[in-house]
Every structure is written in structure tokens, then in C-alpha cells.
Structure 1
């Protein structure tokens, strides 16, 4: 029987390992810097999760609470539009180690983040993605909004969004 994947909150001591997975998953001009990860882990760690298997970090997801609806390029370099009382969750990145892709790690990370957003009474979640990933996010309940204003990495990205039911 295979080992279980655990999704838990990341902490500052994980920054270097998390960053390694980030740079394996995104082109250099799109990957978040180690400094950005350290900032997020210090300022809003409640929105930074890791996937572990047998004690090894195999994936990550991070974002921030915000009053902004969508990600724009300026949010990657500053405080991420962080507002503790914001009604929205902006997801900055989802990355899985190449050896663990297509093993549902990304699904588990996304499910965890969506549940955390619901538990925190967020009303809306948004993220950007490349065209090839639209179907993945739609399978999780996201809707394509259109071409994103974010052009980090000189790439065409798409805004994806999910409105959370009030329960």
C-alpha cells in the first residue's frame, strides 16, 4: 500500500525546499523568488500549504486573503494585496515535484485550499493559469473568466475563478 499524502501548513523552515519545487514547475521568469516565499511564510502563513509523502515535500500551494478580485503583476512583488479581512482568496501558485505529478497531489492541495477559504468565510477564489491547465481547474469547479491582466513571464495567462457558497 502506498504512503498517504499529507497536506499541512508550511513554515519558514520549508522555504528552500518549497522554492526548489517552484523552480522545477515554472519558467524562471514566472517562478516566485525564495524571498517572495519567505515573505509569504512570515506574513500570511495560513495561506501556504505543503504536500508531504514519507516526510518529503512533494508539492505546494500558496496565496493570500485580499479585497482584490484578480491577480495583477504588481501583487507578485509586493505584499500580494494581502488584507487579513479580505473577502477573496488569491492563489499565487500550485506546484508539484515532477516525480509526483499525475498522482492527485495537485487535487489534494487545491481541495485543501478551497476548504480553508470556505472555513475562513471567503466569498471568491481566483488564480491565473496557462491555457493547458484550464480544464484541470474547471474540473475543480473554477470558471474561466478570460485573459488575465497578469503577464508575468511574458505569457498569456487566464483568470480562473470560483464563487464560494455561503453556508
Structure 2
């Protein structure tokens, strides 16, 4: 397995994995990924098995304290010197789940954020995933009113260094 950052050559594969992992109402589009990679490709952690993208984690950096829906839609909000690493998606192809690949990518994102001097990481998740993220040290801050992405109830979780 190889872990690398994203470039424009990865966008088609990233988009394909996203479509397989999220319902259409929640999935980012290829056009959105083009913008995301352009603005913060170094905040994508991609896991390849040979030539196949099997999992990725992505998100941008900001000084904003909470994750909002606008962040998903506006890649230009990325601030490379920001305090918080936001996580927008944790994706693993169904055939590769339950092997610890997402955990490896989350740990890499956490390590990178520490090395870059961030205050921590923030993500949102569905209630059933709270125990999974707690294993990495994230704390549930409850249901957020700042994100209704895909008309879903999201819990905001924060890992503070």
C-alpha cells in the first residue's frame, strides 16, 4: 500500500471512490474535487494498492472553529496557515473495508496536523460512527447546527492536541 497526497491526475479516481462510498445527496462531485485538489491537494491522503485508489481522507485547513456546509462547497476558503484541519470525508471502497486502511489514513492526517502545528482536527459524522472516531481521540460535541449536508443529522467531533 502506498499513501500519497493528491494531484489533478488523481481526481477521476477520487470521484469514483466517493460515488461508491456516499449517497448521491452527500457525495462531492468531480468538479468539486477538481477545485479541492487545486486548493489543497496536500490535505488529501490517498491509499493506493498498485494502481488502484482504495481509500482516501480529505479536508482543508482553516481558522474557523466549526465545520460548516460552506466549507464543502468553497475550496478557496482553505487557509494553509489555519489552526484546524477539517476532515470532509473518510472513504474506503466496500471490498477493502474492515482491514484498517481508513484508520491508517486518519492516523496519517493526525500526524501531519501535529507536525504542522495545528490545534487539532474536526470532522462530522453520523451517530453510528461516533465510537469509531472516539478510538482516535475525537470527542463528540453533539449534533451540529452548522451542517445539514445531504439532509442528514451530523455530530461534530474534535480532536484537540
- Structure-2-length-normalised TM-score: 0.95
Q: 1:35 to 1:106 in 2, by over 3 A?
A: same
CA distance in 2: counterparts of 1:56 and 1:152, whole angstroms? 28
Deviation, 1:34, is 0.8
> Residue 110 of structure 2 corresponds to which residue in structure 1?
114
Cα RMSD for the two superposed structures: 1.1
Runs (5+) with no aligned partner, structure 2: none
Runs (5+) with no aligned partner, structure 1: none
Quick one: which of 45, 50, 65 aligns to 2:46? 50
Task: Indicate yes or no: 2:32 matched with 1:31.
Answer: no
State whether residues 39 and 76 of structure 2, in contact with CA within 8 Å, keep that contact through their aligned partners in structure 1: no
> Residue 11 of structure 1 corresponds to which residue in structure 2?
7
Aligned length: 160
CA distance in 2: counterparts of 1:23 and 1:69, whole angstroms? 28
- Structure-1-length-normalised TM-score: 0.92
Deviation, 1:80, is 6.0
**Greater CA drift, 73-82 or 17-26:** 73-82
Find runs of 4+ consecutive structure 1 residues off by over 4 angstroms: none
> Residue 154 of structure 2 corresponds to which residue in structure 1?
157
Deviation, 1:148, is 1.6
> Residue 100 of structure 2 corresponds to which residue in structure 1?
104
> Residue 93 of structure 1 corresponds to which residue in structure 2?
89
Deviation, 1:55, is 2.7
